[in-house]
Chains A and B, each alone.
Chain A
Amino acid sequence: MGVTCVCQVPVAEGKSVQQTVDMLHKKLEQLGAVKQGNFWVDCETYQATGNATGQPTKLLYVMHNSETPLSSMALFEGGPGLTADANFDVLMVKLKSHFQNAKGHKVESRGTRYRYCDFLVKIGTVAMSSSARGISVEVEYCACVIPGDCWNLMKEFMQSFLGSSTPELPAVFTSKAEGLYAPVDCMDTMSQYLELFGKVRKQQVLAGSGVR
C-alpha cells in the first residue's frame, strides 16, 4: 500500500453522476490505464447513548475498505483511530446498548479500479440509501509510503485526467507531528474518505440522481 489521495469530483454541468463517472473512465482509458476489478469503501455511524445532557453525542465511524477486506477501521472525527480485524463488527453488535447504529447514515463509495503503472485509481459513486450523491476519486501511488517524497508526482498525474478538480495536499498529512515525512497507514486513507463522506452527507440530494 502506498500514499493515497482521496478527493471529490463535482458532477459535470448538465450531466448525471453516471455520465461524469463514464467520462472519467474514458479519460483514464485514453491515458493507458487498465481496468482491474472493483472496489468499495463504506462507513457506518454509531452514536454513543447515555451521554450526560448538554454534552454533544460522540459519533463513532466504522469503515471498511475492499483493499483490506479482513480489517475494520474505527475512528472518531478528529480523534483517535483503531485498525482491527473483521470481528470488530461483531463486537459493535454486542455493544448495541451503548452504541446505536444510525442505519440511515451509512455511506458507501463503489466503483471501478484502474491500474496505470505504479498508480491505482479508483473512481467511485458515493451513495447514501441507494441514491447517488457524488463522485470520489482515490489515487494511490503504490511505490512510495512517504507523502513528502511523491506528492509532486501524484499531483502531476492527477492533473492529467482531473484537470482543475485536482486537489491540494490532504490535510491529514500536514497535521501529523512528523509532517510530510511520516510513513502513511490505512488510517490516513480512511480519514480522507470520512471527510469526503461528511461533505457528501451535508450536500443536498443531487437532482436526477435517483435510485441506482
Chain B
Amino acid sequence: MEAPPVTVMPVTGGTINMMEYLLQGSVLDQSMESLLHRLRGLCDNMEPESFADHELVYLLKGQQGNPFMLRARRSLLHPTAPWHLRYLGQPEVGDKSRHALVRNCVDVAASHSLPEFLNEMGFRMDHEFVAKGQVFRKGAMKVVVSKLLRVLATGNTENTEPLSLSYLVELSVLAPAGQDNVSEDMRSFAEQLKPLVHLEKIDPKRLM
C-alpha cells in the first residue's frame, strides 16, 4: 500500500523512437526440420518457445493520405495474456548498403477490449490470419519461424488452412534509432543460415 514513486512519469511523445530491423526469408515445409536443428545450435541455449497467435490488421481511413495501419495480436495458447498492438512506420529510405529493413515501431500491450475499442476509434478490420511456429533468440536478435494460416470464417480461429507450403522466417531486432551495427550483426547471423534459408531485406512497398 506504499505510494508508487510519483517521479515515475508516464512515457509521452519524445521518448526514444524504437526501430525494428528486419530480414525475411522462407523455407519449404520439408526443409523445416533442418532449419530448426541449425537454429537450435546457433541460438541461445533455451527451449525454443512455440506460439500460436491470431493477428488482426486494422485500417483507419483518413481524409487524405494512406490509411493508418495497426496490427493487433493475441495468443491462442495463452488466452488471458494481454493483446499486443503494433504500429510499424514506413521503411527508412536511406543507405542502400544498409542490410536490413529499418522502420519505426511502437508496441503497446492492451486489455481484451482492444477490438471493440479500435472499432470505436474508427478502425475497421482489413484482414486476419493465424500464425503458428517457434521463436528463437540470440542476444538481442529474435528469429521467428511461422506457418501462416488463412482464417476461413471471420473470427473463427478453429477453421484455418495454410496459406502456402512454406514457413516464413524472420530475423528481427528492436533497437533505438541510430544503431547501425545492428544490421551488420544481423547480416553475419543470416550468413550462417545459408543455404538453408536466404534472409534478405524485402521492401513491403514492392509487394503492394
Contacts and interface: CB of A to CB of B under 8 A. Distances in A.
Given A74-B117, A84-B109, A97-B65, A91 B87 contact: yes
A89 to B, nearest CB: 5
Contacts of B87: 91, 94
Contact of B1 (A79, A85, A97, A142): A142
A124 to B, nearest CB: 13
Contact of B10 (A49, A82, A86): A86
A76 interface: yes
Interface in A82-121: 82-95, 97-99, 113, 115, 120
A157 B110 CA distance: 35
B42 to A, nearest CB: 31
A81 B117 CA distance: 7
Given A76-B120, A91-B87, A98-B60, A36 B1 contact: yes
Contacts of B89: 94
B111 to A, nearest CB: 4
A179 to B, nearest CB: 20
B122 interface: yes
Given A38-B6, A85-B109, A115-B1, A90 B12 contact: yes
B121 interface: yes
B165 interface: no
A80 B12 contact: no
Contacts of A120: 1
A119 to B, nearest CB: 10
A95 B68 contact: yes
A184 interface: no
Interface string A55-91: 0001010001011111010101001111111111111
A85 B108 contact: yes
Given A89-B12, A90-B15, A84 B85 contact: yes
A95 B106 CA distance: 12
Interface in B65-116: 65, 68, 85, 87, 89, 106-111, 113-114, 116
Contact of A90 (B13, B110, B111): B13
A12 B121 CA distance: 41
B140 interface: no
B178 interface: no
A40 interface: yes
Contacts of A67: 4
A163 interface: no
Given A49-B63, A87-B108, A98-B68, A60 B121 contact: yes
Interface residues of B, number: 34
Interface string B12-44: 110100000000000000000000000000000
A142 B3 CA distance: 13
A161 interface: no
A39 B6 contact: yes
A6 B22 CA distance: 47
A50 interface: yes
Given A37-B2, A72-B10, A98-B62, A82 B106 contact: no
A82 B4 CA distance: 22
Contacts of B62: 49-50, 97-98
B46 interface: no
Contact of A64 (B10, B114, B122): B10
Interface string B130-160: 0000000000000000000000000000000
Interface of B: 1-6, 8-13, 15, 60, 62-63, 65, 68, 85, 87, 89, 106-111, 113-114, 116-117, 120-122
9 cross-chain pairs, A with B, having the tightest CB-CB distances, nearest first:
A37-B3, A93-B13, A86-B11, A83-B111, A82-B117, A50-B63, A84-B110, A69-B8, A87-B108
Given A80-B117, A83-B113, A91-B85, 8 more contacts: A67-B4, A79-B120, A82-B114, A82-B117, A89-B11, A89-B12, A94-B106, A97-B65
